[in-house]
Amino acid sequence: MEEHKNTKYLGADEQISLDELKSFLWGAATRLRGQIDAAGYKEYIFPLLFFKRISDVYDEQFQDFVCEGGEEYASMQAEELPIRIPEGAHWNDVREVTENVGQRLVEAFIAIEQANPGEEADGRIIGGLDGIFGPKDGWTNKAKMPDHIITSLIEDFSRYNLSLAHCPADEMGQAYEYLVGKFADDAGNTAQEFYTNRTVVTLMAEILQPQPDESIYDPTCGSGGMLVKCLDFLRQKGEPWQGVKVFGQEINALTSSIARMNLYLNGVEDFSIVREDTLAHPAFVNGSKLRKFDIVLANPPYSIKTWNREAFQNDKWGRNFLGTPPQGRADYAFFQHILASMDEKTGRCAILFPHGVLFRKEESDIRHNLLKKDLVECVIGIGRNLFYNSCMDACVVICRKNKPNNRKDKILFIDAKNEVTRKNAESYLEPHHIEKIASAYQSFTSQEGFCCVVENKDVLKNNAKMSVAKYVKNNSFANEESVDPEEAIEEWNSQSDILNCELDRLLNCFVN
């Protein structure tokens, strides 16, 4: 540890600021630059951050017990803590090791995971740390992560006390989300798989209006940011959020682990995150039916081609009630899963989609069936570059199982493509953008040039096309026989983006 003899360590009473925490975390990540690919940073930094946090919080809570009743009392009470650190598996135990550090770290990870099983209740596994540190092979690969690199990272994290007193949950949560965003920026086009523009998520939460004690579900939860934002909505309004039941499913092992860490570090304990393929194996069921939720929100992977269409065509969970999507685009498979997961009385959803789902010809029959069931409440066209790391036009589709009478058989179309700020190559929604869009949704009335209420029967007459520009702007020249220029451009952009993604994957195959 000679390299760190002049490193400044924070004193016992010093509190780390949010800016300092962000800077430190990204600085620790950049130690890996040149050692591993940028897309792999998260595999190492998130587990270390979580390990340091739970070790420091454990020490903090243990010391409180000591002050309350002495060492023996503290040892007894520590067995009942939400997260337990077994003997020999603490951060300080690993920090003392100078050889085979990666192996020692993995042993600590496994010991902590085994000491903290999830609780079986309500037909699900709640919390628990089983597998939360993600894949572990990389830590013991000395060619990839030699001892001196791991030791340097450990010493970086050891500079700070990440207990609750020094780093409150809301601050830790913000820093974690900052790191997720930074990793997404560095990871390139693959970032969309685990990160959604947080200002768009804030808009979705504002429209859905989560309530205390409701259930919230994200079937493609990525790093868990959508779930956290829904809880933040309640926190910021001073509403009780601890009773909210949180559910998520994510196919990627590392990303599902990151989501669980995210929820823990944001102070959430009543959650269930399952690593599994949502379309092939939905995780949350009641007998022969899908479990129902008050709120569902998602940013599904767009237009995936590798999925079991034949199985979905005969889906035993009844999710194919609108029709079978084409093999090359599973968007409406996820859409139907979400609709089938909504509570019949309180269920509502917000889904971020590429704009093509609103008008593509091959999905026309599915849209007809969707409109006939009167499930779509609002379609919001949002600004470009808000679909992460993509110039593709995107939309937010709001659905509700039990529409108010004044909204039945109607859809509100909102053209919010100009409600966006772009600065330093980043696009985002500012508070006044979110307020304007949410207010239009709440009022559910037409505003010239911005939003328009349209009856379902009129949308059906347009071959069930739900392109926002078709209804908010004057497109009188468009008819069934002609080509809609707006839709043609959107489709070209959509296909271009998909082509670029495929080319990236192909090039990566050659590189690797």
Burial label, 179 (beta-carbon count in 10 A; 0-12, 13-18, 19+): buried
User: Rounded to whole angstroms, how far apart are CA atoms 56 and 84?
Assistant: 12
Q: Taking a C-beta distance cutoff of 8 angstroms, is the pair 181, 211 a contact?
A: no
- Would you tell me how many other CB atoms lie within 10 Å of the CB of residue 484? 19
Angle at CA 141, nearest 5°, toward 140 and 142? 100
The correct answer on CATH 3.40.1130 for the domain covering 2-167 is no
Read off the pLDDT band of 64 (50, 70, 90).
Answer: very high
DSSP state letters, 304-323: ---S-HHHHHT-TTS--SS-
Q: Which of 45-54, 233-242, 468-477, 479-488 has the lowest mean pLDDT?
A: 479-488
Please tell me the distance from the alpha carbon of residue 326 to that of residue 332, in angstroms, as a whole number: 9
Q: What is the DSSP code (8-state) at residue 168?
A: -
At residue 379, does pLDDT exceed 60? yes
| pLDDT at residue 479, rounded to an integer | 37
Q: Compute the average pLDDT of residues 213-230.
A: 93
- Of 146, 139, 133, 140, the closest CA to residue 34 belongs to 146
- pLDDT at 389 (0 to 100): 55
* Stretch 200-210: mean pLDDT: 95
What rounded mean pLDDT belongs to the chain?
87
| Phi then psi dihedrals of residue 290, to 5 deg | -70, 145
Cross-strand pairs, 275: 250
Of 224, 220, 218, which is closest to residue 247 (Cα–Cα)?
218
DSSP string covering 421-459: EEETTEEE--HHHHHHHHHHHHHT--BTTTEEEEEHHHH
pLDDT bucket at 191, cuts 50 / 70 / 90: very low
Cβ neighbours, 10 Å, residue 461: 11
Residue 241 backbone phi and psi in degrees, to 5: -115, -10
Nearest Cα neighbor of 203 from 376, 372, 414 is 414
pLDDT of residue 276: 94
Q: How far apart are CA 378 and CA 416, in angstroms?
A: 12
Task: Give the residues across from 217 on adjacent strands.
Answer: 247, 296
CATH class of 190-504: alpha beta
Domains of the chain, by residue range, sit at: 2-167, 190-504
Residue 126's Cβ-count burial label (10 Å; 0-12, 13-18, 19+) is middle
Angle at 166 between CA 174 and CA 86, to 5 degrees: 95
Mean pLDDT value across residues 233-256: 92
The torsion of the CA quartet 471, 475, 481, 485, rounded to 10 degrees, works out to: -100
**Does residue 179 surpass a pLDDT of 80?**
yes
What number is the average pLDDT over the span 160-177?
87
Beta bridge partners of 350: 297, 398
- pLDDT of 81-105, one tens digit each? 889 999 999 999 999 999 999 999 9
Tell me whether strands 271-275 and 285-286 are parallel, antiparallel or unpaired: unpaired
Q: Regarding predicted confidence, which is higher, 199 or 390?
A: 199
> Residue 485 pLDDT more than 80?
no
Q: State the pairing for strand pair 289-290/285-286.
A: antiparallel
- Cβ 302 vs Cβ 358: under 8 Å: no
Residue range 36-53, pLDDT digits in tens:
887 788 899 999 999 999
Q: Say whether pLDDT at 426 is over 80.
A: no
d(CA 150, CA 275): 27
pTM here is 0.85
Residue 386 banded pLDDT, cuts 50, 70, 90: confident
Q: Which residue has the higher pLDDT, 153 or 14?
A: 153
| Backbone angles phi and psi of 429, in degrees to 5 | -95, 130
Distance CA(215)–CA(85), nearest Å, equals 30
Query: What tokens appear for 107 in the block?
Result: 């042993």
**Whether pLDDT at 58 is above 70:** yes
